[in-house]
Amino acid sequence: MQFLGSLGININVLIAQIVNFGLLMLVLSYFVYKPTIKVIEENERSLQEGDKQKKLLEKEKESFAEEQKKTLVESRERNRKSVKELAVMTETIKSRAHEATKEESAALIEQTKSILESQKPQIVNEITKELNTKFTEDFHESFDRLVSPPYQAEFQSVLFKIFIDRLDATDLDRIKDTDADELRALRETNLDEYEKRLRRLIGTVLLEYTAGVTPHELEEVERIVSEKIGVDTRIDVRRNARLINGFRLEVEGRIIESNLASIVTDHV
């Protein structure tokens, strides 16, 4: 102690500084170091989870492609079998027709051709519809299972921007000035009658969504539609899970959409 004092060091001050330094290290460790390490670990887990979901989605995409390829092969095989059966049936009809009179044969052959031609579009449409429905349902199930809600929200945000661009580029029929003036006057006195008159003029105005629509998004859609038709309009909203993710607007008999269901169907 006397040695430290001879060096000009105050032992009491030194002890106080050591205690303060220890307390400082304890506070920093508890309130700064540990929370920082926790945040870093959580970020690493989030990145790992994102990579895992990305790999799962890529794997599911490859599985979709294989399944689609298999379905197309089976469909072609069924078509070949149907053509073969039709060929056999045609040969049978020709054989019977050959035994009948020339007029009866011609009439029978023409009737058979007409039946086959009339059924051909129906067969093609049914096969195409079946493939589209199956692929869309499989994609919907995998999307909900593999893509987390935050990523789904990001998807919907991107699809909304595309939807707004398409709405901006769509020409809607503007209400005549005389009708517009009458509607504006009616809106000030009777809002219910205003809505009824407006619906009679432009028809249904319905916005469908999957994961929700914010007040700001709805306000932007109403603003654009109102500017295009010439009067203020209120848009009805409805959830439609079959869209998978995105939006669909029906106005003046037109359909304006940006959703995963339409994208998947267009590329099948």
pLDDT of residue 131: 43
pLDDT of residue 70: 82
What H or E segment, with its residue span, contains residue 21? helix 11-28
Strand partners, 58: none
First to last CA, the chain: 88
Distance (Å, whole) CA 135 – CA 155? 20
pLDDT of residue 248: 92
Distance (Å, whole) CA 199 – CA 220? 20
pLDDT of residue 61: 76
User: How is the chain split into domains, by residue range?
Assistant: 1-32, 61-146, 149-267
pLDDT of residue 11: 67
Distance (Å, whole) CA 77 – CA 71? 10
Give 51-78 pLDDT, tens digit per residue. 788 788 788 778 777 887 887 778 778 7
How confident is the chain (268 residues) per 10-residue block, as mean pLDDT? 56 74 74 75 80 79 79 77 67 63 61 59 51 55 71 82 91 84 83 82 87 90 90 88 87 87 67
pLDDT of residue 206: 92
pLDDT of residue 262: 78
What H or E segment, with its residue span, contains residue 148? none
